[in-house]
Chain A
């Protein structure tokens, strides 16, 4: 399976994603420069973390207009997988691939730490390798990760089982203390209506090796591999 990892000016987690795909998962990956207009035959597109276009105007607002994004939108519309991590999640929201927006952390601080996530549903191409309710240790590193949407959108996401990850404490429960950025309903990751686009602020690609503190993110890539190549 081939992963296409988009590099915008200012992306900085594209190498981590490349490492996760090639070294940890053992699959093929290519970088897709933002000025390209086709996906080089990629089965899965990764919109990686970073600070595309310096986060000018709003995080993700300018990257959305990069030439490569037309191909990414067409790929998503065909039902093919898009994994949008951190800044990629912000780009995906700005591009209306996903509903809602990611605003400045409630604390106003940039937060870089390992958090606990609860897998809310294993019924997706991104989470089939987990069990619902499973707790993961995954790093976050962002200043603008406060997931925000209107109540009707949040209800619809929850009703459709499209909230795939939530921030929780050691006890596995959501609380104000375990919500690192003030996200509404402690939402850390959501899928689109057709289930082929995942956006999440935490970095599963940085948690694929126990040497680096956790390999809880690897199953996300393995889920994609088993479901997409099947």
Chain B
């Protein structure tokens, strides 16, 4: 068993109104970032998990997302990184 640090991104699904993202986009545009077309605000979650190998750590993280960390109705997730610690 080793310990792995897994980072997952949970974001509002495309097509579902994200008023937080819209508010941030407007603020950025007001600041002069005229090129900002769209912003999505989501969550970045870091999990330290004991696993036999990288693949098991990644699989466990995927199951955590499916069961709790992301809402399957409205959010998408991705496993961003899996690093041995």
Contacts and interface: CB of A to CB of B under 8 A. Distances in A.
Interface string A156-194: 000000000000000000000000001000000000000
Contacts of A106: 17, 19
Contact of B19 (A57, A99, A100, A104): A104
B19 A107 contact: yes
B19 A61 contact: no
Listed residue (A100, A104, A149) with the most chain B CB atoms within 10 angstroms of its CB: A104
A108 interface: yes
B71 A101 contact: yes
Contacts, number: 35
A223 B31 CA distance: 55
A58 B65 CA distance: 13
Size category of the B interface is 10 to 19
Contact of B68 (A57, A103, A108, A148): A57
Interface in A84-115: 93-94, 99-101, 103-108
Describe B's contact surface by its main secondary structure.
mixed
Contact of B73 (A57, A101, A107, A108): A101
Contact of A104 (B20, B71, B73): B20
A105 B19 contact: yes
Interface residues of A, number: 20
Nearest to A148: B74
B46 interface: no
B16 interface: yes
Nearest to B43: A57
Interface of A: 57-58, 61, 65, 93-94, 99-101, 103-108, 146, 148-150, 182
Interface of B: 16-17, 19-20, 23, 43, 68-69, 71, 73-74
